[in-house]
Amino acid sequence: MNIAFKVENLNVFYGEKQALNTINVEIPEKAVTAIIGPSGCGKSTFLRCLNRMNELLPIFRMEGAIIYEEQNIYSKQVDVIDVRRRIGMVFQKPNPFPKSIYENVAYGLRIQGIKKRGRIDEIVEESLKKAAIWDEVKDRLSHSALALSGGQQQRLCIARALAVEPEVLLLDEPTSAIDPIATARIEELLRELEKTYTIVMVTHNMQQAARISAWTAYFLMGELIEFDDTTKIFTNPKDKRTEDYITGRFG
């Protein structure tokens, strides 16, 4: 098993409040890692550390290191724009741009300076196919993305993230705002994408974590309680607190 991210002594603060406390973990590559835990436990904060999205908040402060491809992504030599391109992200609420379906996917390419129409067409089609939404939208690429259903919007957001050819996909509760059928489609899609991408997914839904992830991390009040093989976490957790959570005794 190869390691994608090596997180070392990560502490995160929002102003005075500490959101994450001394996290040490190694996230394997080309597999789905699920992050579970009750609300406010620091799941999303942790996820957003992995592509430096937290820095958009002025009160954010961190200590420690996150090593990706043998480099601390927080070191001064690293270009944050490059980090975010290589480590893509899909958000909780589908957030397509108020533009056409085509432009949503093409945007990531345009900002990289790709201008050739044919090349962009090609990648747009390829990305929409990878996100399993091509057949539904191929006849209306010029229509507004906001006219799509929630589930379709979320798959479009995945296509948009894939278009810039990232190596990692971070998903922040990607199915919490959409219906069960659309959720099933996205889970199916993630199982497919797992073969080529490292996927880290925050989820509120323990069944979902059990269904699709190979690895699971359990967070509680800013601490990483347990990280292990998903099957082990759900059948034979080492920590009493993990057991309480997955058996539904609280949370």
Partner 1 sequence: MNQILDTVFKVVGFFMTLLGLVVLGALITDVFMDGLPRVSWDFMTSFPSRRAGKAGIYAAWVGTVWIAILTAFFAFPVGVAAATYLEEYARKNWLTDLIEINIANLAGVPSIIYGLLGLGIFVRWMDLDRSILAGGMTLALLVLPVVILSSREALRTIPASIREASYALGASKWQTIRSQVLPAAMPGILTGSILAMSRAIGETAPLIIVGALTYVSFLPTSPFSAEFPFLNAEGLFDPFSVLPIQIFNWVSRPQQAFAINAAAGIIVLLLITFVMNGIAVFLRHRFQKKIRW
Which residues here bind partner 1, judged by CB under 8 A? 51, 53, 56, 58, 81-82, 84-86, 88-89, 91, 93, 95-99, 107-108, 110-112, 144, 146, 157, 160-161, 164
- Provide CB contacts within 8 A for 237, sequence distance 6+: 218, 226, 228, 243, 246
Inter-residue contact 65 to 72 (CB < 8 Å): yes
Cβ proximity to partner 1, 13 vs 91, nearer residue? 91
Rg (CA), the chain: 18
Query: How far apart are CB 85 and partner 1 at their closest, in Å?
Result: 3
The residue among 127 and 216 lying less far from partner 1, judged by its C-beta, is 127
For the bound state, the minimum distance from the C-beta of residue 84 to partner 1, rounded and expressed in Å, comes to 5
**Residue 204: Cβ within 10 Å count:** 16
Total Cβ atoms within 10 A of residue 35: 29
Instruction: Write down the least CB distance from residue 111 to partner 1, Å.
Output: 5
Angle, alpha carbons 63-69-74 (nearest 5°) = 25
> Between 109 and 233, whose beta carbon lies closer to partner 1?
109
The nearer residue to partner 1, 100 or 213, going by C-beta atoms, is 100
- Nearest in space to 130 (alpha carbons), one of 118, 142, 140, 122: 122
Shortest CB 239 distance to partner 1, Å: 33
Q: CB nearer to partner 1: give 33 or 154.
A: 154
Q: How many CB atoms are closer than 10 A to CB 220?
A: 20
- Minimum Å distance from CB 146 to partner 1? 6
